[in-house]
Structure 1
Amino acid sequence: MSSELVVAVAQMTSIDDVDANLMQIEALLEDIFKSHKPRLVGFPENCLYMRVKEGEKIHGFPLDHEAFHKVAALAKKYDTHLHLGSVPLQLEGHLYNSSVLVTPKGEVKSTYQKLHLFDIHLEGQKPIRESDVFRHGQRPSVIEVDGWKIGETICYDIRFAELFSQYARKEVDLIMVPAAFLVKTGEAHWEILLRARAIESQSYLMASAQGGTHQGINGGVRETYGHSLIIDPWGAIIGQVEKRSIGYSVMTLTKERIDGVRRQIPMKYHRRLPVA
């Protein structure tokens, strides 16, 4: 078990072209590993495919898709874990918004399916209904990297504290929050929600985001908020991508910081479940 974990949040501007997105991933990794050696690199929601033209059919990825073979080769090349924040994954005949972990040995694992699907209607904008395409996930997920316990979420999950409370009770060290936040909601809620979840979970958060203007090869344009963040268990921002475009941030996380925060405010001994 390692007392430190070097991590990188990778921010992308993905589009509806898998090859173009793979090129972004490859270029980001090349840039990151010029001067850093993270053991975990987190990519955002919709990292391999982002629907840009509204209503366009989303074709799911099976786990033996060629794109995963290419990512696996990169994980082996750099001897690191690559966390694909979400891809449209075909599982048992159904489509899920799913996280995929690729190990340094090139193993490809479906690890978490998004629990809370984004069905909303902002004023002045068309409704968005993620549940028209995807099935709901059914359970939380804790993965392990070098002895670090890592809870998984995707984007809209950030608004539901009960999921993070489950991870807090499991005493995870880090929670992944890959996202593709809209600009309007990002400006209002992104940072405050992430910092609150880190504080109440007393764990690190890695929030790799989509950011910028997404020009679809089949037409359509989307805007995402970006501002990828790494937040410590005290709620402090320790790494960020300030621009709304492709970029990354690398930080070293320590068990000492987690233990120090939990020792000062021992929430695990104080937590009570309210009686309805």
Structure 2
Amino acid sequence: MKIAAAQSIVTNDIAENGRTIRVLIEEAAKQGARLVNFCEGALSGYSKAQIASPEDWHQLDWKSHSAELEAIAQTCKKHGIFAVVGSAHPFNSPHPPHNSQYIVSDSGDLVARYDKRYLSNSELSGWFTPGKQPVTLEIDGYRFGCLTCIEVQFPELFMEYERLDVDAILFSSYGIRNFFQIALRAHAGFNCLWISGATPAQTAPEGPAGIIGPDGKIISHCPAEPRNALAFALIDRDNPAYDGALNKARPWRRAARDGDIYRDAQNEA
């Protein structure tokens, strides 16, 4: 199946963000993609960028947010495509919102939501409430997992999704700068997973949106320019180019991590 990573301009206007997201969803569908993922805060705006202080969450136009999310869902239904959209999600007052990824199906339903679990010190100081669990979704026989921003610094999260048999991880961040680019390639190669990384267009000169293969190599990326764009790639378990990564390295590394192959060898010795 074909997937797309979005590089979208994020503003402090939720309606404008919604329009940008819908245009890119439509373009991704025209190009044959079944799934497109967007950056952290793509709909709501992001903390310390479009949202100046934690108190500003109370002033956010949550009615407009709901309306735009519904319009995005209808766009997905119209064009037969899944979308994973980064946004703040309101939590029980007076607690801060979650830093989330909304998963919208090709039938226009909100089928799941991933809430960022590992938060920075500043995010914990009134910006966000942490999530609790991994989230997976299956599309056309392929399984996907979600991670956000600084979660790139926790290898155990990528290993967790590998154990959950995902084929690809949808990574949402407000910037994929050099360190993140290197780390994502490493995680993809170590765990033999595709990784689709979405970023705001404003930060693209420091690292564009793109898609990495299960061998750790970049398949495609957007222009390193501050403009809306999409990167595309085919997810194909039968691609002979990935035979070594998917059919040899991945099962062997899982067995090695489990340790039985070494215990058996020690017993034989």
Classify 1:203/1:64 alpha carbon distance in 2 versus 1 (closer, same or farther; 3 Å).
Answer: same
Q: What's the CA shift string for 1:152-204, capped at 9, x where partnerless?
A: 1011111100111111112210011111127xxx13x0211110110111110
CA shift for structure 1 position 33: 3.8
240, 247, 253: which one pairs with 1:263?
247
Aligned residues: 245
Residue 244 (structure 1) aligned with residue 243 (structure 2):
no
CA shift for structure 1 position 10: 0.9
| Structure 1 segment 7-46 matched on structure 2, within 5 A | 7-34=3-30, 36-46=31-41
Residue 265 of structure 2 is matched in structure 1 by none
SS in 2 for 1:180: coil
Percent identical among aligned pairs is: 25
Residue 68 (structure 1) aligned with residue 58 (structure 2):
no
Q: What's the CA shift string for 1:74-126, capped at 9, x where partnerless?
A: 00111010111x2111244441011111111110134211011133xxxxxxx
Residue 262 of structure 2 is matched in structure 1 by none
Q: CA RMSD in A?
A: 2.3
Report the structure, 1 or 2, having the larger helix content: 2
Residue 254 of structure 1 is matched in structure 2 by 236
Classify 1:91/1:242 alpha carbon distance in 2 versus 1 (closer, same or farther; 3 Å).
Answer: same
Contact 1:98–1:110, Cα closer than 8 Å, also in 2 = no
Residue 165 (structure 1) aligned with residue 147 (structure 2):
no
Task: Look up the equivalent residue of 1:253 and give its one-letter code.
Answer: I
- CA distance in structure 2 between the partners assigned to 1:77 and 1:150 by the alignment: 22
Q: What's the CA shift string for 1:115-138, capped at 9, x where partnerless?
A: 11133xxxxxxxxx1222211111
TM-score (norm 1): 0.81
Task: Look up the equivalent residue of 2:213 and give its one-letter code.
Answer: D
Residue 57 (structure 1) aligned with residue 56 (structure 2):
yes
Contact 2:14–2:65, Cα closer than 8 Å, also in 1 = no
- CA distance in structure 1 between the partners assigned to 2:191 and 2:254 by the alignment: 10
Deviating more after overlay: 71-80 vs 25-34: 25-34
- CA distance in structure 1 between the partners assigned to 2:79 and 2:207 by the alignment: 25
Residue 234 (structure 1) aligned with residue 228 (structure 2):
no
- CA distance in structure 1 between the partners assigned to 2:52 and 2:39 by the alignment: 20
- CA distance in structure 2 between the partners assigned to 1:224 and 1:136 by the alignment: 30
- CA distance in structure 2 between the partners assigned to 1:61 and 1:267 by the alignment: 45
Q: Which runs of 5+ in 1 are unaligned?
A: 120-128, 214-222
- CA distance in structure 2 between the partners assigned to 1:239 and 1:264 by the alignment: 24
Contact 2:220–2:231, Cα closer than 8 Å, also in 1 = yes
- CA distance in structure 2 between the partners assigned to 1:259 and 1:7 by the alignment: 20
Q: Which runs of 5+ in 2 are unaligned?
A: 260-269
Task: Look up the equivalent residue of 1:38 and give its one-letter code.
Answer: A
CA shift for structure 1 position 65: 1.3
Classify 1:109/1:27 alpha carbon distance in 2 versus 1 (closer, same or farther; 3 Å).
Answer: same
SS in 1 for 2:134: coil
Residue 147 (structure 1) aligned with residue 148 (structure 2):
no
CA shift for structure 1 position 225: 3.8
Contact 1:144–1:150, Cα closer than 8 Å, also in 2 = yes
Contact 2:205–2:224, Cα closer than 8 Å, also in 1 = no
> Greater RCO between the two (CA within 8 Å, min separation 6)?
1
Classify 1:53/1:80 alpha carbon distance in 2 versus 1 (closer, same or farther; 3 Å).
Answer: closer
- CA distance in structure 2 between the partners assigned to 1:26 and 1:231 by the alignment: 24
TM-score (norm 2): 0.83
Residue 181 of structure 2 is matched in structure 1 by 191
CA shift for structure 1 position 224: 7.9
Question: Which structure has the larger Rg?
Answer: 2
CA shift for structure 1 position 15: 1.0
Report the structure, 1 or 2, having the larger strand content: 1
Classify 1:41/1:53 alpha carbon distance in 2 versus 1 (closer, same or farther; 3 Å).
Answer: closer
- CA distance in structure 2 between the partners assigned to 1:171 and 1:53 by the alignment: 36
Residue 264 of structure 2 is matched in structure 1 by none
Contact 2:3–2:35, Cα closer than 8 Å, also in 1 = yes
